Amino acid sequence: MAFGKYEPEQIEEKWQKTWTENGTFHVETDESTPKYYVLEMFPYPSGKIHMGHVRNYSIGDVVARYKRMQGLNVIHPMGWDAFGLPAENAAIKNNTHPAKWTYANIDDMRTQLKRLGYSYDWRRELATCHPGYYKWEQEFFLKFLEKGLVYRKKSPVNWCETCHTVLANEQVEEGLCWRCDSKVEQKELEQWFLRITDYADELLESLNKLDGGWPERVLTMQRNWIGKSIGAELDFAVEGKDETISVFTTRPDTLYGATFMSVAAEHPMVEKLIEGNPEAAKVREFVDKVTNMDRFLRSADDLEKEGVFTGSYCTNPLNGLKMPIYVANFVLMGYGTGAVMAVPAHDQRDFEFAKKYDLPMQVVITPKGETLEADKMTEAYSDPGMLVNSGQFDDMSNEDAKAAIVDYLGQSGKGKKAINYRLRDWNISRQRFWGAPIPIVYCEECGAVPVPEKDLPVVLPEDAVMNEDGRSPLPQMEEFYKTPCPKCGKEARRETDTMDTFVESSWYFLRYTNARKEDGAFDRDALDYWLPVDQYIGGIEHAILHLLYARFFTKALRDEGYTGLDEPFANLLTQGMVLKDGAKMSKSKGNVVDPNAMIGKYGADATRLFILFASPPEKDLEWSDQGIEGSHRFLNRIWRLMEDLEEHLSPVGPCASAEGMELSSDAKNLRRKEHDTIRRVSRDMENKFQFNTAIAAVMELINELYSSREKLTSTEDGRFALSSAISSALAALSPMAPHICEELWSRIGYEGCVSDVSWPHYDEKALETDELLIILQVNGKMRGKLSVPASASKEDFEKEALEHENVVKHIEGKTVRKVIVVPGKLVNIVAN
């Protein structure tokens, strides 16, 4: 056939159609073949893909195609994280139902992703907003409820007025809603919680299993978020009242230095503490002010420390000191007990508070051999040291004193060793429409009653009309909330809150293994075969929220008998962002590059190639118009090379065996370059997916083919070398630019797709060379190069070097003191 011009759109459409018709990327469970599960974090269906999507999914597609060519049974699915506020807000704006808007967007985005030629098994596609998906989520909720892993309580919550919903602590970023950047307020509501803290220890300990597979940065972020602290818990008796204040401290060594008590504004004892205090109204005013402050700001180091005296005192259990009790703005109920024994001489926050309110300080730790005077201190002393003013524990190092004081507290019945976590239970209630309904019915006689499993799913009404102010329509829809009590049959009210959308993304990777199963959430045989995910790919922004919840869900479902899995993701790659002009792409900055425009102009292969070549996957990538033009030129260059060589090529296979053939030196050189390219590409693929250097190696091979083609087309061994080398180039490049490689592969005369061939294996013997190029040095300075037989001995190297014309010139009149030979690399002659 006439070769013609390189037309990316025609070629890409042709091969996408071929893959679809052949079911090329369809995959089934096959116990006889090792599996590989590659997964990119699924997208929210906003309607348009962006360059961040292209990067994420291109990385995953290269991994999937490469592993498939290695002979593994590769599952590579795609779906849609389809519930959430954006769909609801867009539906309100466009006067439509969120389902209609969402499914239209899914259709558009599916078309866009298919245009990029990704190797997804689309039969496994799922959307989390489909009742066939969230039915099982509701089943999980009921199982967890039965076990006690789900509970309901009244709790101060993070409230976003703009979104009209509650946010989990992890969804509040610097005091703002993670979705809309509105200020977050505090509100008290009855909410449903998942008891993730029951798994705190296992979530922490099993991070050790992920060492080497996950980035250390992500492991550290998870460890810090779980925040395990070991210390002591003890009670301070409240003077004049039959009450005690419990305190958790990680610094029992400073107990003798506690001079006042700070409690959170939300502490349940505040009202009792201010009984009889003429200033009670002032305290209540302060409490109201603080409870409406942003929690992030309250825990910030630069917060101005403020408080108010409750009028009550408590007693230090170790030294009997009478300690005033303050409500302080920097103490939170969410950590420990909501009360802090204040040690101003050794804690900077307490130091600033004590200075402001003229409260006493007591030094109990000093540097070894030195003394500290409280009234002369300008900041708290928080370094290690020796105990003073601490009774029987004086002269102990503070580290030894920690254990000794905890032991004493336990023996004397004044306290005990305790462990505390920063991690809080997961609030999953959301006051919005577009989410999975919580399967609970409220009955005046029976209370909160679970919906029977046989009645699942509880389906969102398709005729709901969105409220313009964003409030959920469910509480106003009698046809939804009116229902008989499952226990007594009397009229009851259905729960109108929906689940946090992070619940859906906490188990979707399990459902992919049999996405169409109707008689159960999972096929256990398929789960056991495919899981864990071998390679998970997504942004660092999900390091805490999604990954922690997915790990928790996996363990909770394991304990309910659904899986046998401890950890869902064996390996994690967090790709960098795509930047333009040094900033993250955003509409407000006017620096967005539309992937569809790039595909239309340069083709999917060039778009993929640039996004993979411009930067290692874990680094940020700076968009460059010149860069994508360069990728397009490179593909055109391969096309022209094939056009020149077409009549000389035959389907000998990549890295074809040359056994029994006499190869010319030129053919040997090309073959050496071919095998070295496969060696380098294979290494770069295996070493943290360094696609940029892998592509660079293929580019070098194409250059070698250009420079050697005229010398090799006239001989049989030359044509063999050319055919093998260009076949290897296409096979190695095919995971990155699959369409053009398929087309050129077929034009060589191969039957079938390059996507189906085995990954080429390089031959160590082919890498051997007949001659070596040796660097010649005199006193460490290069004075020439020398080509010698590869079989030459050390003595041959030395002899040839000493006879080299330029070396002779530089040692003339000097005495050679030493000749240093590094075999195969250099000869250095030391002379003076």
Per-residue HEC secondary structure of 790-817 comes to CCCCHHHHHHHHHCCHHHHHHHCCCCEE
pLDDT at 727: 98
Lowest mean pLDDT among 156-165, 206-215, 466-475: 156-165
Closest CA to 498 of 212, 137, 89: 137
Contact 479, 489 (CB under 8 A): no
Percent of the chain residues past pLDDT 70, beyond the cut: 99
Which are the contacts of 610, defined by CB distance < 8 A and separation ≥ 6? Answer: 624, 627, 628, 630, 631
Higher pLDDT, 78 or 173: 78
Once rounded to an integer, what is the mean pLDDT over residues 295-324? 90
Instruction: Give buried/exposed letters for 632-643 (b at 16+ CB in 10 A, else e).
Output: bebbeebbebbb
Q: Give the residue carrying structure tokens 């466009």.
A: 94
Distance CA 250, CA 210 (A): 28
pLDDT over 90, % of the chain: 82
Query: How far apart (Å, rounded) are the C-alpha atoms in residues 655 and 675?
Result: 7
pLDDT at 1 over 60: no
CB–CB of 745/730 below 8 Å? yes
Identify the pLDDT of residue 170: 62
Confidence of residue 470 (pLDDT cuts 50, 70, 90): confident
* Band of residue 786 on the pLDDT scale cut at 50, 70, 90: confident
- How confident is the model over 282-295, as a mean pLDDT? 87
What end-to-end distance do the CA atoms of the chain give, in Å? Answer: 69
Q: Given this model, what pLDDT does residue 174 score?
A: 76
Centre a 10 Å sphere on the Cβ of residue 21 and count the other Cβ atoms it contains.
8
Q: What is the per-residue pLDDT across 121-146, written as a single tens digit (0 to 9) for each?
A: 999 999 999 999 999 999 999 999 99
pLDDT tens-digit readout, 141-172: 999 999 999 999 988 778 888 888 877 666 78
**In the numeric block, which tokens belong to residue 604?**
């999917």
pLDDT in tens, 737-778: 999 999 999 999 999 999 999 999 999 999 888 777 889 999
For residue 89, the model assigns a pLDDT of 84
Q: Is the pLDDT of residue 691 over 70?
A: yes
* pLDDT > 80? residue 348: yes
pTM: 0.88
pLDDT score for 586: 74
Cα–Cα dist 126/410, whole Å: 55
Span 29-50, average pLDDT: 95
Is residue 2 scored above 90 in pLDDT?
Answer: no
Over residues 731-737, mean pLDDT: 98
Of 222, 760, 194, 258, the closest CA to residue 503 belongs to: 194
Q: What string of DSSP letters covers 7-62?
A: -HHHHHHHHHHHHHHHTTT-----TTS-EEEEEEPPPP--SS--HHHHHHHHHHHH
Task: For residue 191, give Cα distances in angstroms to 36, 187, 441, 507, 689.
Answer: 40, 11, 14, 22, 44
- Is there a contact between 527 and 510 (Cβ–Cβ < 8 Å)? yes
Q: At what angle do helices 604-613 and 595-602 cross, to 10 degrees?
A: 120
Q: Residue 10 has which token pair?
A: 């025609």
Length of the chain: 832
Separation CA 162–CA 140 (nearest Å): 30
Rounded-to-integer distance, Cα 799 and Cα 565, Å: 66
**Whether pLDDT at 299 is above 80:** no
Asked if the bond preceding 86 is cis, omega within 30° of 0, the reply is no
pLDDT band at 693 (very low <50, low <70, confident <90, very high): very high
Six-digit token string for 617: 């996957």
Cα–Cα distance measured from residue 553 to residue 337, given in angstroms and rounded to the nearest whole number: 27
Q: Which pLDDT score, from 0 to 100, does residue 171 have?
A: 74
Q: Who wins on pLDDT, 91 or 112?
A: 112
The C-alpha atoms of residue 676 and residue 541 are separated, in whole angstroms, by 38
Task: Give me the mean pLDDT over the 698-724 stretch.
Answer: 96
Q: Tell me the three state secondary structure of residue 92.
A: helix
Q: What is the mean pLDDT of residues 524-539?
A: 97
- How many C-beta atoms lie closer than 10 Å to residue 374's C-beta? 17
Structure tokens at 172: 């509040």
Q: Are 382 and 370 in contact (CB under 8 A)?
A: no
What is the model's pLDDT at position 796? Answer: 83
Which range has the worst mean pLDDT, 17-31, 179-193, 469-483?
A: 179-193
Q: Is 528 helix (H, G, I), strand (E, B) or coil?
A: helix
pLDDT confidence bin for 75, thresholds 50/70/90 = very high
- pLDDT tens-digit series, residues 352-406: 999 999 999 999 999 998 999 999 999 999 999 999 999 999 999 999 999 999 9
Helix (H) / strand (E) containing 230: strand 228-238
